Structure 1
Amino acid sequence: MNWLTVDKVHKFEGQQVELRGWIANRRSSGKIRFLHLRDGHGIIQCVVTKDQTSAEVFDLSDRIPYESSVVIRGIAKKEPRSPIGYEISVTDMEMLFEAEEYPIAKKDHGVGFLMDHRHLWLRSSKQHALLKLRSQITRTARTFFDDLGFISIEAPVLTPTACEGTTSLFEVAYFDRSAYLTQSGQLYGEAAAMALGQIYVHGPTFRAEKSKTRRHLTEFWMIEPEMAFWEFDETIDLAEQLIGKIVEDSLEKSRDELKILERDTSFLEKIKPPFPRITYSEAVDLLKGKGVEFNWGDDFGADEESVLSESFDKPLFVTRYPADVKAFYMKRDPHDPRLALAVDLLAPEGYGEIIGGGQREDSLEQLEHRIEQHGLDREPLQWYLDLRRYGSVPHAGFGLGIERTVTWIAGIHHVRETIPFPRLMDRLYP
């Protein structure tokens, strides 16, 4: 007999089936034992009775430790009270490995304890739902770009220089010199766009910012499209379409996960393009109108982003930031050289920035000037300057932060639960 996963049981009603997984819970009611089997595809109740099983199996069902691995055989039956509509009437059970006493008991634990046991915490229903939601959001984003004809490329993790600023670099020994963990795949994405037209990079990025907020990780994943011959407004339109599709697919394909996470989906159901767009200067006026002290020319922090995003019930595009608070590669606004053609997308409900991007500087002379202004070493960037020497074109792109997007869609408080093994200032284990 071939074994099944829980999500396939409905196809075999009334038939003998075999399942393999772990005991997530158990309880007794008179002469009946109830085991909850978890296999990564779902959880199903398995009913053990004396008249259907041997005395050994019935005895085992009453004492088997949580998270022991088992093979369960039985009849698949309809059960309207079950969350998945089916249960298993057990005829046989084999314990593969008996678990030791499980450290994550059926009680509340502190975050520190759970993070120390992250490798086991992943087995809980909410963490399982978060990772499935993350997988679906990533799949949606990649499919979105694939269907538009974008080419997926890989950018190196080890780089010779900074792309976002030298104060947030992780330096590593690289044979006889220093290298740095990438802050973004963007610069290499630009090179690929000059060869392939429209591309996207999906990979990890690293920031050594000493931030201990609910929105910050030191290692996180991004999807970063770059488009040759595209300009500013086209890029905003693309980001808007991507977020619309992510929300649509999350509501359709991850509804069970959102239910487990107790997400109020009424907020998400309002998220349909078009999204509001305001300039940085308009955002500053909005903040001041709400009593927030803020100086024009400063960058928005988490508090300011929350106030702005809570002012709208849809994601908010903020455009045309002061050039001095943006990266060296941002193109200046031709109508106001104080400003960069930069855009951030702030998620509603106070979740803050999930997308950052804009138009890239395509002038060799201007880019050389920006590198000097930012105090960057020009030598490691010669290859990047070559992109302007040999057939420069208008081009643009953005980066979508996977973890922040999942945090918003899931409606949870802290970004640390949206990646399997989070890396924080004070967290490198497990």
Structure 2
Amino acid sequence: MKITISEVHQHIGEEVTIGVWLNNKRSSGKIAFLELRDGTGFIQGVVVKNEAGEEVFQTAKSMSQETSFYVTGTVREDARSPFGYELQVTGIEIIHEAVDYPITPKAHGTEFLMDHRHLWLRSRRQHAVMKIRNEIIRATYEFFNTHGFTKIDPPILTGSAPEGTTELFHTKYFDEEAYLSQSGQLYMEAAAMAFGKVFSFGPTFRAEKSKTRRHLIEFWMIEPEMAFYEHEDSLKVQEQYVSYIVRSVLENCKLDLHRLGRDTSKLEQVSAPFPRITYDDAIELLHEKGFEDIKWGEDFGAPHETAIAESFDKPVFITHYPAAIKPFYMQPDAKRPEVVLCADLIAPEGYGEIIGGSERINDYDLLLKRIKDFNLSEEAYKWYLDLRKYGSVPHSGFGLGLERTVAWISGVEHVRETIPFPRLLNRIYP
């Protein structure tokens, strides 16, 4: 019977066949221990010479790392293994013998591993991170589908930019100017006026020359937009959504979190509601923590966000930023127009901002003024202004950066490990 490693718990005591690769091996006298993987998981194969026979035993001992083969054996429970099962091997059928696999069990430098990213993905650590990424994506669809959202796909090539063009990749679209999208938000606002509650999930691009552990050139965003939702309504959706995906990872990725050595006690504290502080309060808090140089009206950097997050056990919302440092489309606070109805959600443990969101301007004249204030093309945003001419309503939305969220939940230090093939400032290979 041919099965996968993820299915072995259904076949205890049965003889099965699994297509695998050899991840690692060791031998002790007349027993060989094979670390096997098949893409769905990892399992130890035990080859006992007296039981499997001389030929199978010698094949097991001579196989090289990443050799592919069909392994046959009996599934046994193994309380010593975090996985809980092992395979008592009785047969091996070689498919392809790998020679001189470059990523050996010894330590390698980061640049070497990144040059071999196409192979590094096979490792236990990278496998665990990608499984957690996949679970976050699965839970995202589940959350929004069960809360009445419709998935809409915005374009990747755009003729305008939601936050200006200084950090966009420019290209020619036949005889017109175009950019790789830095956000699908504006299009999602149009979709919200047609479907009420919508979300998108897709790649975005930022031509930002940053080398920090939080930045990628190409990354993926989840961007919901909601008609008839004001700022406070949106914050509730955000904290419910983040709580949901954290809980889903805790429930469905226990083994992956264990492999990464993640302290799950910190994740178990993540449940709505989340603490909230205003930008004003954040400035005061930073001054108390020794950041005396930060002035009102300046944006926060990574050290500031980390210092703020250290005061809380859960993700924290920083609300009501100065309008001057936020994008043109954010709704000013009616009681205090110099700040906008927005929030950044800062993850604990130094992972920084994972969500940015706001209530959107719904008044035509105010939006037109903001477009002019930002020296943007009125013609390019004519369609966006139309949304305020024909049945405008209060509406809000936000964007969650997938890779930063994966880094935080999985506990890895750098976002380059949270996407299959990272695009960095000096890296577009492989």
Aligned to 1:35: 34
Quick check: 1:161 aligned with 2:160?
yes
The alignment partner of 1:180 has SS state of strand
1:56 corresponds to: 55
Query: Which residue of the partner structure matches residue 356 of structure 1?
Result: 356
Q: After superposition, what is the alpha-carbon deviation per residue over 1:212-245, rounded to whole angstroms, capped at 9, x for unaligned?
A: 1111111111111100011010001111111111
* TM-score, length-scaled by structure 1: 0.97
TM-score by length of 2: 0.97
Residue identity (%): 55
Q: Hey, what does 1:193 align to over in structure 2?
A: 192
Q: Within the alignment, does 1:377 sit opposite 2:377 as a pair? A: yes
User: Equivalents in 1 of 2:20, 2:172: separation in Å?
Assistant: 43
One-letter identity of the residue aligned with 1:214: R
Post-superposition Cα deviations, 1:374-430, rounded to whole Å, max 9, x if no partner, equal 111122211111111111111000011111111111122111111111111111011
Gaps of at least 5 residues in structure 2 are none
Give the number of equivalent residue pairs. 429
CA contact (8 A) 2:190 2:384 kept: yes
Distance in 2 between residues matched to 1:232 and 1:34, nearest whole Å? 57
User: Structure 1 CA distance, aligned partners of 2:74 and 2:351?
Assistant: 46
Letter in 2 for 1:285: E
2:271 paired with 1:272: yes
Q: CA deviation at 1:54?
A: 4.9
Alpha-carbon deviation of 1:78? 2.5
Find the residue that maps to 1:372 and give its secondary structure: helix
Residue 92 of structure 2 corresponds to which residue in structure 1? 93
For residues 281 and 418 of structure 2, what CA distance do their matches in structure 1 show?
32
Counterparts of residues 339-354 of structure 1 (less than 5 Å): 339-354=339-354
**Aligned AA (1:356):** G
Determine if contact 2:82/2:255 at 8 Å carries over to the other structure.
no
Residue range with higher mean Cα deviation, 234-243 or 69-78: 69-78
C-alpha distance in structure 1 between counterparts of 2:183 and 2:40, whole Å: 33
Look up the SS of the partner of 2:380 in the other structure. helix
Q: Distance in 2 between matches of 1:187 and 1:345?
A: 20
Which deviates the most, 35-44 or 317-326? 35-44
Paired with 1:312 and 1:81, the residues of 2 have a C-alpha distance of 37
Structure 1 position 32, deviation (Å): 1.7
Local SS of the residue matching 2:136: helix
Tell me if 1:66 matches 2:65. Answer: yes
**Cα shift readout 1:189-234 (whole Å, capped 9, x = no counterpart):** 0000000000001111110111111111111111111000110100
Deviations 1:274-325 (A, max 9, x none): 2111111111111111110211011111111111111211111111110011
Q: How does 1:218-257 map to 2 (within 5 A)?
A: 218-257=217-256
Structure 1: gaps (5+ residues):
none
What residue number does 1:126 align with? 125
Structure 2 residue 334 is the aligned partner of structure 1 residue 323: no
Q: Secondary structure at the match of 1:48?
A: strand
Deviation track 1:106-146 (CA, whole Å, cap 9, x = no partner) reads 11111111111111111111110000001111111221111
Rounded Cα–Cα distance in structure 2 between residues aligned with 1:411 and 1:327 = 31
Q: What is the root-mean-square deviation of aligned Cα atoms in Å? A: 1.2
